[in-house]
Amino acid sequence: MEQPEKTKASPTPPTSAGEVSIIAADAGIGELLVELLENQFQVKSFASLAEFERSFLAKNREISPDLVLCDAKLRDASGIDALKRIRKVDPQIPIILMVTQPDKQWTEEAFRAGVTDLLEKPFESFLFIDKFRGRIAQARLHRAQDRMTELLRTQLLLTTTQANRLFDQIAKDAKSVPKKLRYADPDEDAIRFGHARKSAEKLLHEIEQCRIEYLALAEKLRIS
């Protein structure tokens, strides 16, 4: 007697992979994106900006997304309005707006408001998943660098071991940034917006320079 095939459960992504919040006006698009991303990230989907804000702005902060993927047109707000409201709470979080044939004026307004990237619908490829990983890694790196800057600003000196441990963690995050973020249309993106994309090697070099400068400054402050 034949045994029925066992269905393989989708692997649960580690929390270190990052949390993605989707705000989609179209329930079908939201479900599709959840299916595409749930094996790669921790994913939560919302049908409106108000629903997202109830979790994002709650006192106990029910969600702490590493990246927000938002429709350019929502039931209760425009994508740019949503972008501005999220930016007031978190200036660094990567925010990607899903758009359909945006014109130049709208695009420029979105980038002035602080959008990280645009994702055009319908989706012609799924390379944006790699882009999400890169954006999350870059944001984590920037947050870590800000923490180090704050330590220096307040002159809170770490021991050499503590400092090296912190820099090693930052370097580990940087290594998760893809060497080259892949875009569906990289030439157009580079020409129209001129976004500089640092390579992992350059980021690691900068981190090592920060390590040297911090340890030298810390030693000087201890002596004085």
**In sequence order, what are the beta bridge partners of 92?**
none
Does residue 88 or residue 177 have the better pLDDT? 88
Residues 7-30 pLDDT 10s: 334 456 655 678 999 999 999 999
**Number of domains making up the chain:** 2
Position 4 scores a pLDDT of: 44
* Residue 19 covered by a domain: yes
Does residue 215 or residue 68 have the better pLDDT? 68
Q: What is the pTM of this model?
A: 0.65
Position 87 scores a pLDDT of: 93
Position 10 scores a pLDDT of: 44
Q: Do 29 and 114 lie in a common domain? A: yes
Q: Do 139 and 112 lie in a common domain? A: no
Query: Residue 191: pLDDT above 90?
Result: no
Question: Which of 1-5, 26-30, 171-175 has maximum average pLDDT?
Answer: 26-30
Q: Do 119 and 33 lie in a common domain? A: yes
Position 198 scores a pLDDT of: 47
Q: What is the mean pLDDT of residues 170-180?
A: 56
Position 134 scores a pLDDT of: 85
Q: Do 25 and 115 lie in a common domain? A: yes
Q: What is the dihedral of CA 80, 81, 87, 88, to 10 degrees?
A: 160
Q: Which of 60, 88, 123 is the last residue of a domain?
A: 123
Residues 198-222 pLDDT 10s: 445 566 666 677 767 767 766 666 6
Could you count the other beta carbons within 10 Å of the beta carbon of residue 150?
Answer: 10
* Residue 177 covered by a domain: yes
Q: Which of 123, 154, 179 is the last residue of a domain?
A: 123
Share above pLDDT 70 across residues of the chain, in percent, rounded to a whole number? 60
CA-CA distance, 168 to 207, in Å (whole number)? Answer: 9
CA-CA distance, 86 to 106, in Å (whole number)? Answer: 18
Domain that includes residue 203, residue range: 132-223
Q: Do 149 and 219 lie in a common domain? A: yes
Does residue 70 or residue 170 have the better pLDDT? 70
In the structure, what pLDDT confidence band is assigned to residue 84 with cuts at 50, 70 and 90?
Answer: very high
